[in-house]
Structure 1
């Protein structure tokens, strides 16, 4: 392995023989890595390999872990600094973009208040100046109408918009070291390209002034090739290979690195039978949200924002319908309306030919077992106070009350095994797992009640490429076995191409194009579809 000398004038961050242990579990094992001033380094590896734990150790945010080794920032040993000194470093000199924005953002404050607070604390400017800077940052990270969005709460934004808010917060004080933990996970291909270009632009600007470096933690190899100068590969807590971009991608030495680079979504879709019945259908569905009007009028009047406009979609038995579009285009809102979890302004949603509004009482409870959802943010959708057994078994207790405790546990263990987890996880809690492992738990919770239709909202966005392949193959096998209908929402067009039978393209709340996935991908008719496909192609070219 190649690495920079640990104590040269060019070194900004020096990690030597770092080990992190949680009880009996060794999460990081003897890692040594250096990052030079102005350098962009990518840390890649499977979920649970220790990437995020390494970054959190740099910030000293692992209060429940035993940490050994040395971490030096600009020559100063961080382990010996007081907590007060560390608080001064966090945000100003060392900033982090967290992987799960919904759990990192405070739900009680607007995004503008949270960004401005960071600027006021570290830059000492007035609140008015901080708000102007916050608007500028939101605009630069690609959020439309930043002056309106600055007054939004986290739950009022899409997953991609929340991620961009996190990036704006991290960049607010122009840090010298940016730890970016999956910064583009929730972003569509067009915004992902904008964010990568933005990070590159800002890093180069700040590198010239303060020597800003970036440690990028990601499973997106396209992003690594486009952004980083050097790559470090982790497997099971150990650093197995480091080197320049060209060296790692063109001539990887370690077998694990070779497997990562060779991983691609594979299409194993079974054709839908011509006689397959329609399971779920949306007819002329529109969804409105109330919004505060600007100025004093907002205190007693509200406007309306149309998030979905006259959408028509159907999902047949054994079919996967892919929905693609930029963040905020209405994909998740439409999916929630099709589940009956979001009130519609007009239109109708039907399950097996019957309007969802006609299901009442016990029938409505039964309907819930047939229509299930895997949410985009696995940490936000899993109760932090429940064990995995309770989380996965909760649906069984509600929808299968005839099962006794032993039968319920057997079913839980079987489903966990299907998603790649064993019975040893039953008594553990969500915070003990990586993002990808938590997503598998969320999928298991959905599968356990044997639904007819599953809405999959970015189900593989938190997974590395090798685990992504396994999960996609699992979903395909389950669809074949149970004739499931999937509504598959994804920013990753490669995943849609591997999974979907048909695809619908959404822009600004409207479906602009729909058809067979092969037809849409090969001969798109709408300009926006062509733009999405070109952005995805550009990413693959960089790979």
Structure 2
């Protein structure tokens, strides 16, 4: 009996849903986060809850587990017929992790850095099943093996920072499955993962859910803004906008015939190709030839650690970027994309090769010329919340480069310049006196772009600038970047693991694997007819996930 049959039979037999939310309201002071939400999940069913950031998706999941602290929660949350809102905290502690488990969005934050992965998985088993720590550790090894972690006997002894992003996410899944829950809440489980790892995690969740649905009727509530993931994983979808459920139904119907304008907006927000042809006479801005970057590695010795060898992060990379052109750089985590970007900016020492900007080697820029070089080559990082100082106002953050590179401007002139560039990226002048935490993720990314543009650079390096954004916000940022590139004839180095984004933005693409550029050329030609097996693997994973 498969998962869909289980859900269907439960409905046909008139059995109570596994989870039922009825007129759920969640408020934080005067702010309404969830407004009159009613829906149910049957045993063995896979339901996706979709919407943009701030739509109330995660708040809904936390309300189910009663993890919202001082928030006011009213209505009904029934699990297997029992009202969770009326249970004592002690009763909820017994329920969390055993009957209802959650996979959080960012495992590096959710996992305790002071304990090994094995200890954290075993802790759940020991707490809920009363087994010995040794038995818990044995089960932890088995769970890591089941979730596809290589060498699980060794990985149980690893700390979270010693695992890759995909391994940490698998460890989170193992922890959530430790007590074989009846309901699994998965909050953006694949957001920051590479396309190949994302496809693997989706396959893993599908396999586990189908297996557990047959054994125990396990259902999954998937919280995501990734519509490709919804189409592949879920049977039914519920769409939330600003705390309100606006539409729900079978995945096929919602995607083929969405009724609500907001649902249609989400589905239409997939990246659209928007590139302006590069002029044949456009000069080369950046020219890199056989660039290599290596780092010393360490090995244990009799008297501690010693340097044993060098790890080559980038090997003989050759590429160029012309004025008005976007070069996409794609590859999995660890392929060397960001290291290459830092080398191109002159922020990472190279072990070999040459890098020229506007016909001159980077090493030849000295003194004041180097300051000019820095203003002409700017970078936008993946996470604007981490790259924007929380202690500075937006005016100081965006104007900091002007104070350094344009000392002739007085305070009034700097403010006017900052206001102008903020307006250009869609941020109102009232933002000048506010701080980063007062803005949404998409707004913070616009501020980060403004900080880079205020110096009027010739080349912009974009390191995963849209990976953590909602689909509609992502499309807005991509449209903004395309508009700015056309207006100012900027050169872009666009680093991403999202091939749909690269397909929408890039003129040419360089594919990196293990520090080596394995294929490069026109993005449409390579995406339609890839020559290298690794490129084909990335494209296949992108289509699946």
TM-score exceeds 0.5: yes
Indicate conservation of the 8 Å contact 1:103/1:379, yes or no. no
TM-aligned CA distance change 1:83 to 1:307, over 3 Å? farther
TM-aligned CA distance change 1:306 to 1:173, over 3 Å? farther
Q: Tell me the equivalent position of 2:276.
A: 270
| Distance in 1, Cα, partners of 2:262 & 2:48 | 16
Q: CA deviation at 1:267?
A: 1.7
Q: Tell me the equivalent position of 2:6.
A: none
Indicate conservation of the 8 Å contact 1:115/1:172, yes or no. no
Q: CA deviation at 1:270?
A: 1.1
Q: Answer with 287-296 or 250-259: which moved more.
A: 287-296
Matched, 1:226 2:232: yes
| Distance in 1, Cα, partners of 2:485 & 2:172 | 35
Q: Tell me the equivalent position of 2:207.
A: 201
| Distance in 1, Cα, partners of 2:337 & 2:476 | 25
TM-aligned CA distance change 1:131 to 1:499, over 3 Å? farther
C-alpha offsets along residues 416-455 of structure 1, whole Å, 9 cap, x if unaligned?
4444444555555545555444434433333333332222
Q: Please point out which of 501, 510, 514 is paired with 1:508.
A: 514
Matched, 1:496 2:502: yes
Indicate conservation of the 8 Å contact 1:118/1:169, yes or no. yes
Indicate conservation of the 8 Å contact 1:120/1:126, yes or no. no
Matched, 1:44 2:39: no
Q: Tell me the equivalent position of 2:451.
A: 445
TM-aligned CA distance change 1:398 to 1:64, over 3 Å? farther
Structure 2 residue matching 1:26: 3-state secondary structure: strand
Structure 2 residue matching 1:38: 3-state secondary structure: coil
Indicate conservation of the 8 Å contact 2:119/2:137, yes or no. no
TM-aligned CA distance change 1:501 to 1:148, over 3 Å? farther
TM-aligned CA distance change 1:426 to 1:306, over 3 Å? same
C-alpha offsets along residues 295-340 of structure 1, whole Å, 9 cap, x if unaligned?
9797445544322222112222111011112232222222222223
Indicate conservation of the 8 Å contact 2:295/2:313, yes or no. yes
TM-aligned CA distance change 1:302 to 1:184, over 3 Å? same
| Distance in 2, Cα, partners of 1:380 & 1:87 | 33
TM-aligned CA distance change 1:293 to 1:202, over 3 Å? farther
Q: Please point out which of 1, 17, 31 is paired with 1:11.
A: 17
Structure 2 residue matching 1:265: 3-state secondary structure: coil
| Distance in 2, Cα, partners of 1:156 & 1:348 | 33
Q: Please point out which of 376, 388, 397 is paired with 1:370.
A: 376
Indicate conservation of the 8 Å contact 1:452/1:484, yes or no. yes
Matched, 1:309 2:309: no
Q: CA deviation at 1:134?
A: 6.1
| Distance in 2, Cα, partners of 1:67 & 1:386 | 35
* Residue pairs, 1:162-311, within 5 angstroms: 163=169, 166-167=172-173, 169-171=175-177, 174-293=180-299, 299-300=305-306, 302-311=308-317
Q: Answer with 248-257 or 384-393: which moved more.
A: 384-393
Q: Please point out which of 497, 511, 529 is paired with 1:523.
A: 529
TM-aligned CA distance change 1:65 to 1:139, over 3 Å? same
Q: CA deviation at 1:358?
A: 4.6
TM-aligned CA distance change 1:419 to 1:46, over 3 Å? farther
Q: Please point out which of 460, 470, 483 is paired with 1:454.
A: 460
Larger-Rg structure: 2
Structure 1 residue matching 2:238: 3-state secondary structure: strand
Q: Answer with 55-64 or 186-195: which moved more.
A: 55-64
Structure 2 spans left out of the alignment, 5+ residues: 1-9
C-alpha offsets along residues 45-104 of structure 1, whole Å, 9 cap, x if unaligned?
223322233233334444464444333444454445555655555545444333345554
| Distance in 1, Cα, partners of 2:143 & 2:318 | 36
Question: TM-score with structure 2 length normalisation?
Answer: 0.84
Structure 2 residue matching 1:525: 3-state secondary structure: coil
Q: CA deviation at 1:221?
A: 1.4
| Distance in 2, Cα, partners of 1:487 & 1:84 | 53
C-alpha offsets along residues 215-272 of structure 1, whole Å, 9 cap, x if unaligned?
2122221111110011011122211001111221222211221222233322221111
Question: TM-score with structure 1 length normalisation?
Answer: 0.84
| Distance in 2, Cα, partners of 1:234 & 1:453 | 39
Structure 1 residue matching 2:118: 3-state secondary structure: helix
| Distance in 2, Cα, partners of 1:362 & 1:149 | 50
Q: Tell me the equivalent position of 1:119.
A: 121
Q: Please point out which of 342, 350, 355 is paired with 2:356.
A: 350
* Residue pairs, 1:372-451, within 5 angstroms: 372-423=378-429, 429-431=435-437, 433-451=439-457
Q: Please point out which of 321, 328, 331 is paired with 1:322.
A: 328
Aligned residues: 531
TM-aligned CA distance change 1:330 to 1:85, over 3 Å? farther
Structure 2 residue matching 1:461: 3-state secondary structure: coil
Q: Tell me the equivalent position of 1:336.
A: 342
Q: CA deviation at 1:273?
A: 1.9
Q: Answer with 66-75 or 468-477: which moved more.
A: 66-75
C-alpha offsets along residues 115-155 of structure 1, whole Å, 9 cap, x if unaligned?
22321321127777767766766676667777887777766
RMSD (Å) for aligned C-alpha atoms:
3.6
Matched, 1:96 2:98: no
Q: Tell me the equivalent position of 2:36.
A: 30
Structure 1 spans left out of the alignment, 5+ residues: none
